Amino acid sequence: MQFPWTPTRLDDGSYSPSLFALKAAGTGSKFETDQPQLPLNGKRVLMMCTEEGHMRMKNGKLFSTGNHPVEMLVPVLHLLRAGFAVDISTPTGQPVKIETWALPNDANVRSLYQDRREEFAKPIDLRTFDGEFAFDPADYIAVFVPGGHGAMLGLPSSPEIAPVLRWAHRSDRHTLTICHGPAALLSLQATAKAEGDEPFIYAGYKMAAFPDQMDRKLPLFGYLPGKIPWHFEERLSALGVEFVNTRIEGATHRDRNLVTGDSPKAANAFGKLSAQTLLAALAS
């Protein structure tokens, strides 16, 4: 007998959140906007996703993860409505991993998920980026790293992610990231020696993100099958980042060209803020 707070064991031996955790997280409508559909404006957003889908807990159990669909698709819906095109990429062109157990019951989100299935399966390979995009960088106004615990896998040490983040920062583009997505910013530090021991780009920035103290509580009600192997907030804090939230409260924040949000609860507001910020940049 499976208790409601026991993580669900999947066919591949990994675990998804318990029934209790899923109910607490909610799968209702996440997409609300008063933004009218704007025509395409010629600018693009590069979404950089994880291609790894299993996180090994400290107890050895595997958590079935990837990018959280609410944190990925709800912001994309806002960006598309605002007239931006969104391209999907992974570090080496492997398929995007998605926490499909978290797919919400929102018709717009599910429709977008179905429409982009082929792009999720065959994303842009970020190894085509080498200081400049193999495709025209002038078209890109922002890069976006969605959340989900999968963002802590591969991306924080990725030699493919770091050059894109550096390019965005140096080129006055915007960086958008939510929940566990900021873990990808650690790739800047991981590859710093190759760049001449540069200072951490986001030292002194404020951001919203999924708090470490909440990650420590997730095993208690079966969202995770054990304790996660490391915590990204403490590592970013050590590099000079200041976090504006200590709880999951739907917080969003903008600091210069960095736009952040704390969790699925923030996905809608984060999407709106991202779209409004990019429209303002386009108009300036």
Catalytic residue (choose from 46, 179, 185, 224): 179
For residue 40, give the amino acid letter.
L
- Tell me, what DSSP letter sits at residue 67? B
Residue 46 parent element (H or E)? strand 44-48
Beta sheet of 8-9, edge-to-edge order: 8-9, 15-16, 62-64, 54-56
Alpha-carbon distances of 111 from 35, 51, 68, 106, 263, rounded to whole Å: 18, 22, 16, 9, 22
Q: Give the helix ranges, DSSP H, for the chain.
A: 19-25, 69-81, 107-115, 117-121, 161-170, 186-190, 212-215, 232-238, 267-283
What is d(CA 72, CA 64) in angstroms, rounded to the nearest whole number? 17
Residue 197 has, within 13 A of its CA and on its CB side, a CA count of 0
CB < 8 Å & 24+ apart, contacts of 278-281: 278/43, 278/45, 278/79, 278/82, 278/84, 278/141, 278/142, 278/174, 279/82, 279/83, 281/141, 281/174
Active site residue 179: yes
* Token pair belonging to 93: 């062109």
- Tell me, what DSSP letter sits at residue 154? S
What is d(CA 265, CA 268) in angstroms, rounded to the nearest whole number? 7
- CB count, 10 Å around CB of 2? 11
3-state DSSP call for residue 228?
A: coil
Which active-site residues does the annotation give? 179
